[in-house]
Structure 1
Amino acid sequence: MSRASARQNPTRIQREKTRAILAAALDVFSAEGYRGATLDQIAEAARLSKPNLLYYFASKEDIHRVLLERLLDTWLEPLRGLDPEGDPVAEIEAYVVRKLRMARDMPRESRLFAGEVLSGATRIADQIRGPLRALVDEKAAVLRGWSEAGRIAPVDPYHLIFSIWAATQHYADFDAQVRGILGTSEGAHFPEAERYLRHLFRRAITSEATIGPDEP
């Protein structure tokens, strides 16, 4: 929580300044990484003096932590939407689409989260082992139940979720590579990516093929 948010009844200006700082920090952290980012860069991007910024946040780490906490909650929302009472194939396809559209609409947030995980996830380890793991366990149980009931093909639920994360977030974290190879403008490749990923995961969860324990 920011210093301003921690105060009782923060003013409208305080709330606006806090949002401006976080928006500026998202730009800086996603471009420079945690180590490369500085308070001076964040203050400049937010159009504030450094002392004014420090009125709202105690440190660079404080800003980064608040961003990650808010991002993780947003990042979990598509998975929360997986409905145990829905049609399994439709629910999994919808989850893939939600994650891909998040990669399209929130590339900076995706890169911020990826950078933190690649550096060891020390600042969000508790959240990963806590609420993220609990939610993944809950939805993995749903996927396993669908598989055991024959409503989708036999599949490891955790690796299915990991595969969806990898396939969709690639389009945010490696956007420059994707556009460079395809020769497309920003965002132009997403409709085709969505069609392909829908097909890919539909085949994965409706095929009768299984992977045995000793198969590569």
Structure 2
Amino acid sequence: MSPTARPRSRIQQRNREVILDAALEVFSLHGFRGATLDQIAEVAGLSKPNLLYYFPSKEEVHTALLTGLLDTWLDPLRAMNPAGQPLQEILAYVRRKLDLARDFPRESRLFAGEILQGAPRMRAAIEGDLRRLVEEKAAVLTRWMDEGRIARVDPVHLVFSIWALTQHYADFEVQVRAVLGSEHDPFSEAGGFLETLFTRLLTP
């Protein structure tokens, strides 16, 4: 019987978490195509047959990671409050996205790798949940613009720009740190810069 067909024991749950964390490390470094089950098993400290008991293929490990990641990625945008003060809500969203890039760089690189491959395992979620959420928040942004509370810009491209300007610090972290030097904290410096940038862009 598959371990997913009945409630998992604490050991089984722990082993799944160990495998997924090891897979996150391997996939974020090597991408889906470059990663192997042998590498994941080695990082997890488990035998390959033990790993295969929980995940019968590399595709299943990757899909499990991406499924858990999507909610993490959508939550900062979900938290944008339509009843809040517009500029404060947008700046708070920028900060949440930057914090996500700082705290979950491997997850960001995993997501970026999937998108660069054409999103073969996430296309349905991107065209479904992600698109619907962006459309919902774009309507909120448009209402705020119509009310004159923020400057008028394309709301969807505003969201895209926030993604690009925050996730860059995770996806290109090596480059960012190499250019800035070890004496700089890129995330704290980026926070102030992005706040100024979006405040100037969106102030009516």
TM range (shorter): over 0.9
Q: Distance in 2 between matches of 1:149 and 1:155?
A: 13
Q: 188, 191, 199: which is aligned to 1:191? A: 188
What TM-score do the two structures reach when normalised by structure 1? 0.92
Matched letter for residue 116 of structure 1: E
Q: Partner of 1:140 in structure 2? A: 138
Match of 2:72 in 1: 74
What is the CA RMSD across the aligned residues, in angstroms? 1.1
- Report how far residue 184 of structure 1 moved: 2.5
Please say if residues 169 and 186 of structure 2, whose CA atoms lie closer than 8 Å, have aligned partners that are also in contact.
no
Instruction: Give 2:93's aligned amino acid.
Output: Y
Please give the alpha-carbon distance, in whole angstroms, between the structure 1 residues aligned to 2:24 and 2:161.
Answer: 26
- Quick one: which of 195, 200, 203 aligns to 1:203? 200
Distance (whole Å) between structure 2 residues aligned to residue 35 and residue 93 of structure 1: 37
How far the C-alpha of 1:58 sits from its partner, in A, is: 1.3
Q: Which residue of 1 aligns with 2:125?
A: 127
CA apart distance, 1:7: 2.1
Partner of 2:90: 92
Counterpart-to-counterpart distance in 1, 2:182 and 2:141: 35
Give the match for residue 45 of structure 2: 47
Alignment-derived partner of residue 58 in structure 1: 56
1:204 and 1:159 map into 2 onto residues whose CA distance is 13
Identity of aligned residues (%): 61
Which residue does 1:210 correspond to in 2? none
Runs of 4+ residues over 3 Å off in structure 1: none
Tell me by how many angstroms 1:94 deviates: 0.1
> Which runs of 5 or more residues in structure 1 are unaligned?
208-216
TM-score under structure 2 length normalisation: 0.97
Q: What runs of 5+ residues in structure 2 fail to find an aligned partner? A: none
Counterpart CA distance in 2 for 1:7 and 1:15 is: 13
Aligned with 2:36 (options 32, 35, 38):
38
1:80: Cα distance to partner? Answer: 0.4
Distance, in Å, in 2 between the alignment partners of 1:164 and 1:110 is: 14
Q: Distance in 2 between matches of 1:72 and 1:203?
A: 31
Residues 1-33 of structure 1, C-alpha deviations (whole Å, 9 max, x = no match): xx53x2221100000000000000000000000
Partner of 2:8: 10
